[in-house]
Amino acid sequence: MASLMERATSAPQTPGESPAACAPPRVKVVGVSKTFPTPDGGVARVIENVDLTLAEGEFLSIVGPSGCGKSTMLRLISGLTPVSEGRIVVAGREVTEPPPGVGFMFQRDTLLPWATVSENISIALELNGTPPAARPARIAELLKLLGLERYADYRPSAISGGMRQRAALGRLLAYGPELYLMDEPFGALDAMTKMILGRELLRIWSQDAKSVVFVTHDIEEAVGLSDRVIVMEGPPGRIKSEYRIDLPRPRDFRAVRLLPEFRDLCERIWGDIGRHSEAE
């Protein structure tokens, strides 16, 4: 543990700066703003001039108060919602529609209601071209991992919110995208399951070196998982600050919490969000 502590640092960065700026980025967000029409006929500015780079293989978390535009940022990157100003490039191509190789886990699970848990996962395997003969074993593996074996044949309406979230995570893992966009994926889970799935996500991420943008309200979760944490403020949504998380890898999602550097980072990020809330 001592060597872990020696290696841990916590320098804030300039917004937009990436730790692996030399490699071509997986995502580049340049001067992006987003407006929506309001019910009274006006226009609401929801995202204001955001610049952001996600390096290949980087794990980035976004935190910030409710309504500051975190989910909107993910939807813009996913191509599901068009930008109003600026541009977003994913894997070298400007985003005008959902790009290939991007997996989205929504804040509210979007399982197909008519399909069972197994079938929901199977459809993701079909989408990524897994041969039919290889699907049952992969489904069984994911159901075991997520503790859903007993619920394989249940429809989403007959399982709990936390189970639905796990099934949605199973579908994302089954699809196996290059870029994971995850909107509070562990929000409805109990502390123990969060810990298990956080570990599992880190294990999968470290094996496959996929790029992740992870939105959460849980600062400890963000610090425990990420290479970098961005604090947003708003509305309109802007990047307020950015923290490089130089805690060692491979990282034990639970043990890392004992490091003083971990606590220090969490406190500073909390302070950032708190100051914003007080100013409102």
- Residue type (1 letter), 143: L
Write out the binding residues for Mg ion, residues 105-144 only, by CB under 5 A: 107
Residue nearest to Mg ion as judged by C-beta position: 71
Pairs from 105-110 (Cβ < 8 Å, separation ≥ 24): 105/168, 105/169, 105/172, 105/180, 105/181, 105/182, 105/183, 105/185, 106/168, 106/183, 107/71, 107/183, 107/184, 107/187, 107/215, 109/156, 109/164, 109/165, 109/167, 109/168, 110/168
> How far does CA 258 lie from the centroid of its chain?
23
Are 211 and 181 contacting, i.e. CB atoms less than 8 angstroms apart?
A: no
> Is position 70 an interface residue for ligand ATP (rule: CB under 6 A)?
yes
Q: Sort residue 259 into left (φ over 0), alpha (ψ -120 to 50) or beta.
A: beta
- The span of 62-70, 88-96, 110-118, 146-154 binding ligand ATP (CB under 6 A) equals 62-70
The backbone torsions φ and ψ at residue 249, rounded to the nearest 5 degrees and listed phi first, read: -120, 150
Question: Considering only residues 17-56, where is the footprint of ligand ATP by CB under 6 A?
Answer: 36, 44, 46
Binder of residue 156, out of Mg ion, ligand ATP, none (CB less than 5 to 8 A by kind):
none
Q: Which stretch binds ligand ATP (CB under 6 A): 63-71, 159-167, 170-178, 204-212?
A: 63-71
Beta carbon of residue 69, minimum distance to Mg ion (angstroms, whole number): 8
**Which strand (E) or helix (H) includes residue 220?**
helix 219-225
For ligand ATP, the binding residue among 31, 67, 100, 161 (CB under 6 A) is 67
Q: Do 75 and 85 meet the contact criterion of CB atoms below 8 Å apart?
A: no
User: Which residue lies nearer to ligand ATP by CB, 31 or 67?
Assistant: 67
Pairing of strands 59-63, 27-37: unpaired
CB of 231 closer than 8 Å to CB of 269: yes
Question: Judged by CB, which is closer to Mg ion: 125, or 181?
Answer: 181
Residue 71 interacts with ligand ATP (CB under 6 A)? yes
Site string for ligand ATP, 220-259 (x = CB under 6 A): ---------------x------------------------
Contact string (CB under 6 A) for ligand ATP, positions 130-169, x = contact: ----------------------------------------
With respect to ligand ATP, which residue has the nearer C-beta, 116 or 216? Answer: 216
71 interacts with Mg ion by CB under 5 A = yes
Give the nearer residue to ligand ATP in terms of CB position, either 36 or 114: 36
Q: In what order do the strands lie in the sheet with 85-90?
A: 43-54, 27-37, 85-90, 93-94
Distance CA(35)–CA(49), nearest Å, equals 11
The minimum distance between CB 253 and ligand ATP, in angstroms, equals: 22
Q: Applying CB under 6 A, what is the total number of residues that bind ligand ATP?
A: 12
Q: Confirm or reject binding of residue 277 to ligand ATP (CB under 6 A).
A: no
Residues of this chain that interact with Mg ion (CB under 5 A) are: 71, 107
Residues of this chain that interact with ligand ATP (CB under 6 A) are: 36, 44, 46, 66-72, 107, 235
